[in-house]
Structure 1
Amino acid sequence: MAKILAVDDSASMRSMVAFTLRGAGHEVEEADNGQAALDTARGQKFDLVLADVNMPVMDGISMVREMRAMAEYRGVPILMLTTESNPEKKMEGKAAGATGWLVKPFDPDQLLATVGRVLG
């Protein structure tokens, strides 16, 4: 199974995402903002990153840009899991390098199907 980094400033949302992913056999690390995610990503290799957009310290789209600048994360899928649904924000995420966009509240089955699809 995959090693996944879940990034969200909401502890309850991280908990629900981690519970869903661990239930499917994935290994999950958590970070509460984009900067903490980058610090965690520098120390280890993840197969997938799931991140919120609106977070303190560093938002998700800035985090995606920074991760894409790291050689080891150029090809790693990064999914945005957010309440943001406007097309401009989605285009900004895609331009930064986000692989996909899921809107909260998430459906656990849909999350797992999307994770399975992007991981191949």
Structure 2
Amino acid sequence: MAPTSRPRILLVEDDLGYQELLSTILADRYALSLCSSAEEGMAKLDAEAFDLVICDINLFGMTGLELLDKLHREGKSEGCPVVLCSSQTDPDTRVKAMTLGAAGFVVKPYDIDALLALIATLLSTQ
């Protein structure tokens, strides 16, 4: 990431309400790219470089967990942490996300301050 450029974040979220909420919060601070499916997210990751991915787990088609697993298997997650999000609060989902290499797990509805702090921490360690 060039020092003068804004960090690039890919948001993979199929809920338009959450997409709009995060766009409003993040667009002033970061270069944000939006998509609504894991397949579209993979295509964007193949074509562009991102500093961070925020991905919902419960997507139609490929899930966020499957996307994370594929990114790791294909070596595309190096230097690009992935934060998974879900309204599911069961420990098994969280453990599976972390086992697959998620850099963070955020429960919906979002605690915006905690999400912003997590993003800042992950981007500062790159």
TM-score (norm. length: structure 1): 0.92
How many residues were matched structurally?
A: 119
Q: Which of 48, 51, 67 pairs up with 2:52?
A: 48
Match of 2:115 in 1: 111
Match of 1:98 in 2: 102
- Rg bigger for which structure? 2
Query: Equivalences for 1:1-120 in 2 at 5 Å?
Result: 1-23=6-28, 25-120=29-124
Using the alignment, how far apart are the partners of 2:77 and 2:40 within structure 1?
16
SS of 1:105's partner is coil
TM-score (norm. length: structure 2): 0.88
* Greater CA drift, 55-64 or 87-96: 87-96
Using the alignment, how far apart are the partners of 1:70 and 1:17 within structure 2?
28
Whether the 8 Å contact between 2:51 and 2:79 is mirrored in structure 1 is no
Shift of 1:75: 3.1
Using the alignment, how far apart are the partners of 2:7 and 2:118 within structure 1?
13
Shift of 1:96: 1.4
Which sections of structure 1, spanning at least 5 residues, go unmatched?
none
State percent identity of aligned pairs: 24
SS of 1:71's partner is coil
| Alignment deviations for residues 24-62 of structure 1 (CA, whole Å, 9 cap, x no partner) | x20100111111110111000000000111110110000
Shift of 1:81: 1.7
* Higher-helix-fraction structure: 1
RMSD: 1.2
SS of 2:32's partner is strand
